[in-house]
Amino acid sequence: MEQLLLPVLLMLVVAVPLVMGTRKQKRAAAQQQELQNSLSEGDRVMTTSGLYGTVANTDDDTTIDIEVAPGVVTTWLRQAVRERVEPVVEDDSADEDAPGSHEAIPAEEASASSVTTTSASSASSASSATEDKKTEESGAQIAPPLEHGKK
């Protein structure tokens, strides 16, 4: 009897995680099937490829129409729907109060960063001075150059 104890314990150690993993996988598949069957028009969804859209038509059993932009409706397999997402709520007052939400960088900050970039570079030339002036005028920032291979 003692000779059988070790092999039985080894089989249990291997079998229990396999059974538990299979149960978890079956449960996830059932939830996904339930989601795909419960979709209705107007639901906001994300596909397996990461595309967000609104369900436009659910008449077919195997396909679903998703509106990805106003007036643009595409047909997808139901299995391509990964999850239902909450609709985006746009708050106009939050957009106006958020600093730098869609605004250009002020000229003072752009010139300060271009001066820092220029002083950090080892070789400054007349062409970089003209580029800094263009940067200050446009309000754009230029990232410092990457230094590969230096240790």
pLDDT digits (tens, 9 = 90+) for 17-53: 999 999 999 999 999 999 988 888 999 999 999 999 9
Question: What distance in Å separates the CA atoms of residue 46 and residue 56, rounded to the nearest whole number?
Answer: 13
Q: Which residue has the higher pLDDT, 147 or 117?
A: 147
User: Does 29 fall in a domain?
Assistant: no
How sure is the predictor about 3, in pLDDT bands with cuts at 50, 70 and 90?
confident
Do residues 83 and 108 share a domain?
Answer: no
* pLDDT for residue 61: 86
* pLDDT for residue 111: 46
Global pTM value: 0.48
Question: What distance in Å separates the CA atoms of residue 120 and residue 18, rounded to the nearest whole number?
Answer: 58
How far is it between the farthest Cα atoms of the chain?
90
Q: Which residues of 81-97 are buried (b: 16+ CB within 10 A; e: fewer)?
A: bbeeeeeeeeeeeeeee
pLDDT digits (tens, 9 = 90+) for 99-125: 554 455 555 554 444 444 444 444 444
23 three-state secondary structure: helix
User: Does 20 fall in a domain?
Assistant: no
Q: Is the pLDDT at 66 greater than 70, yes or no?
A: yes
Do residues 40 and 78 share a domain?
Answer: yes
Per DSSP, 68 falls in state: E
User: Does 27 fall in a domain?
Assistant: no
Domain CATH code at residue 66: 2.30.30
User: Does 137 fall in a domain?
Assistant: yes
Do residues 122 and 82 share a domain?
Answer: no
User: Does 10 fall in a domain?
Assistant: no
Domain extent at residue 49: 36-88
Do residues 84 and 107 share a domain?
Answer: no
Question: What distance in Å separates the CA atoms of residue 149 and residue 23, rounded to the nearest whole number?
Answer: 51
Strands (E), 8-141: 44-47, 52-57, 63-69, 72-77, 81-84
Alpha carbon dihedral 36, 41, 42, 45, in 10-degree steps, equals 20
Least confidently predicted of 5-14, 45-54, 79-88, 119-128: 119-128
In percent, how much of the chain has pLDDT > 70?
Answer: 58
How many independent structural domains does the chain possess? 2
User: Does 98 fall in a domain?
Assistant: no
